[in-house]
Amino acid sequence: MLRLIPAPTAVRPQAGACVLPAPPTACVPDHLDPRVAQVLHELFPGLHHVACRQAHAAIRLETAAGPAESYRLRIAPDGIAIAAPDAAGFFYALQTLRQIRAQGGAALPCCEIEDAPAWPLRGYYLDVSRGRVPRLELLKRRVRLLASLKINHLQLYFEHPFRFRFDPAIAGDGDAYDADDLKALDAFCREHFIELVPSFTCFGHLGRILSLPPYRHLAEVEFPAPSWEAATWLQRLRGCTIHTRDPAAQDLLRRILDEFLPCFTSPRFNLCGDETYDLGRRTPDATPADLARQYVDHVRFLQGEAARHGKSLMLWGDMLLKHPEAIGDLPPGCEILDWAYFPSNKFEKCGEFISRGLPTAVCPSVRGFGRVFNAVEEARGVLAKYARIGKELGARGLLNTDWGDYGHFNVPPAALHGLALGAQLAWNPANDADADFDRAFSKIVFGADDSRPAELFSLAGSVPEAAAAWPFAPLKNVPPPADPAPLREIAAQAPAWADGFTKLAATEWADETDHAQLALACRFLQFGALVASGAPAAQTRPLLDELEKALAPLWFAESLPRGLLDLHARGFEPMRQRLG
């Protein structure tokens, strides 16, 4: 049985198999998009452009009417036929064919597939501001995976890690990207039918910038530490809202956007605008209506700045729900990103925006933030429920978020299950999110014939907070359980989970470095369980030393280096002091 992610709308198995000649011949439409031609040559290296007018070609691409990004794929004994209305449809048909080839080898199982996305926006949102700044090579590798799963929208979350020419102190000595990096990534995304949307927080969460001496006076509430370096993770994470009515604040944001936005060809810009809890602190007598007006006034200012760069606005919706009178006053063209990450959240709240005619995307999470290993099962439930409610209420897409609170300890491959499930549900919220998906995930991402990889994700991703918390539970004031027995069992089982990950075969999407990171995360779960169950420091202290040493080369392989120093100073060293 074929395993495909995302699951197509309709798959009709047929008798027989297709074995293409070597090299195969192809017939393609005039003016075929070069990005599609590139994928054709990746899949069939022997193809030559002279062969693209064969009357009886083994591979035929034909333009046909249909919804945007849709396709029909027919594999028959005499060859492969693809029909699509646009270049994206051809591209996605070839991604499906790539997955089929990986499973069938030279003899492709005959079938007919009809497929189309339920949503036009299918996105992934990656935090690059809270400690882990991925190397450009890793981002490109993730882009290729996202494209293979038919994701068409990517955002990177920026608070400060960009090397601004007007003030290099904003990035300082920390890890950061420059304009050439982002322009290169933008071009790479376009090659893979992904829109790279600029996302720079322009309201709250401006801690790094507002901690700097030239800008401290521009905050609604002064930054709570003498410097960014002296601040705790929580001080960096909370508040830090800019005083929007100060002309100097507007000038600062204008200079930021004038350097940042030209790095992107997308016609959209996400201003963020979430969690502005300090809004109005300079005007304590302000009424709720005053605060709503201040919020909208700032959105209007940012709309004008974005428009100068040919971009419309996206923004998170949480503060609009706290000031609902502001929703109707938003400038035209705004798109709302409604986020909810936990089972206790009210997913129907996205309807507040949809009912007012605002284009809205639901935004769940892969749930890696604040954890040693992603909360896989909790994320699964939220992703499935939120996607289906969003579809019922008229949302226009799904943007799956991957946050890195507290230094971004959570390892990148631990997000793979949630990433792939988000793609499955963004293509069609009615798709399976359980056993069938797990079998497809295990096959496509890890090349496994059974569900063992997904089972390992589920086991490691279901460990309770007392063992899975980051920073470690004692540093986060997570109390140990009354009964330590279940945690002792986790401590005994986690090394076997780690061993299971290391024994997986390397694939295009999950290589030995990914397996090593997943295994190491399981060992950190073992450490957390031992600490929470009362194991002596003579046992836990050497284990912590061993694990931190093992983390360094894995971090450096995929992420820029300085973030690891922060984990050492704020996570590992305080834990050693606790252990004594």
pLDDT of 367-392, one tens digit each? 999 999 999 999 999 999 999 999 99
pLDDT band at 268 (very low <50, low <70, confident <90, very high): very high
- CATH 2.40.110.10 applies to domain 10-115: no
> What average pLDDT score do residues 280-291 get?
92
User: 159-198 in b/e burial notation, b at 16+ Cβ within 10 A?
Assistant: bbbbbbeebeebbbebbbbeeebbeebbebbebbbbbbbb
Residue 238's pLDDT is 87
Residue 238: partners with Cβ closer than 8 Å, 6 or more residues away:
275, 277
Residue 288's pLDDT is 92
Residues 126, 156 contacting (CB under 8 angstroms):
yes
Q: Residue 162 forms beta bridges with which residues?
A: 177
Residues 447, 505 contacting (CB under 8 angstroms):
yes
Nearest CA-CA partner of 249 in 290, 285, 281, 204:
204
- Residue 221 DSSP code: S
Whole-number Å distance between alpha carbons of 314 and 200: 11
Q: In this structure, which amino acid lies at residue 445?
A: V
36, two tokens? 């599609």
Angle (nearest 5°) at CA 484 between 481 and 490: 105
pLDDT band at 338 (very low <50, low <70, confident <90, very high): very high
Give the Cβ contact number of residue 256 at 10 Å.
23
- Using one digit for the tens of pLDDT, what is the confidence trace for 64-87? 999 999 999 999 999 999 999 999
**Architecture label for domain 121-433:** Alpha-Beta Barrel (3.20)
pLDDT band at 239 (very low <50, low <70, confident <90, very high): confident
Residue 456: partners with Cβ closer than 8 Å, 6 or more residues away:
497, 500, 501, 518
> What average pLDDT score do residues 310-336 get?
96
Q: How many CA atoms lie within 13 A of 339 on its CB side?
A: 21
Give the Cβ contact number of residue 79 at 10 Å.
20
Residue 157's pLDDT is 98
Residue appearing with tokens 């086991």: 459
Residue appearing with tokens 């996206």: 314
Q: Residue 111 forms beta bridges with which residues?
A: 13, 75
pLDDT, the chain, mean: 96
Does pLDDT of 28 surpass 70? Answer: yes
Query: SS3 of 267, please?
Result: coil
**Domain map of the chain by residue range?**
10-115, 121-433, 445-579
Whole-number Å distance between alpha carbons of 533 and 487: 6
Cα dihedral 274/275/280/282 (nearest 10): -110
> What average pLDDT score do residues 36-40 get?
96
Q: Residue 12 forms beta bridges with which residues?
A: 112
Residue 53's pLDDT is 61
Residues in the chain: 580
> What average pLDDT score do residues 149-159 get?
98
State the pairing for strand pair 121-127/397-402.
parallel
pLDDT band at 50 (very low <50, low <70, confident <90, very high): very low
- Using one digit for the tens of pLDDT, what is the confidence trace for 409-439? 999 999 999 999 999 999 999 999 999 999 9
Query: SS3 of 224, please?
Result: coil
Mean pLDDT check: name the lowest of 101-110, 496-505, 536-545: 101-110
Residue 23's pLDDT is 86
Whole-number Å distance between alpha carbons of 494 and 479: 21
Instruction: For CA atoms 550, 556, 557, 560, give the dihedral sign.
Output: positive
Residue appearing with tokens 């790279």: 196
Whole-number Å distance between alpha carbons of 517 and 368: 14
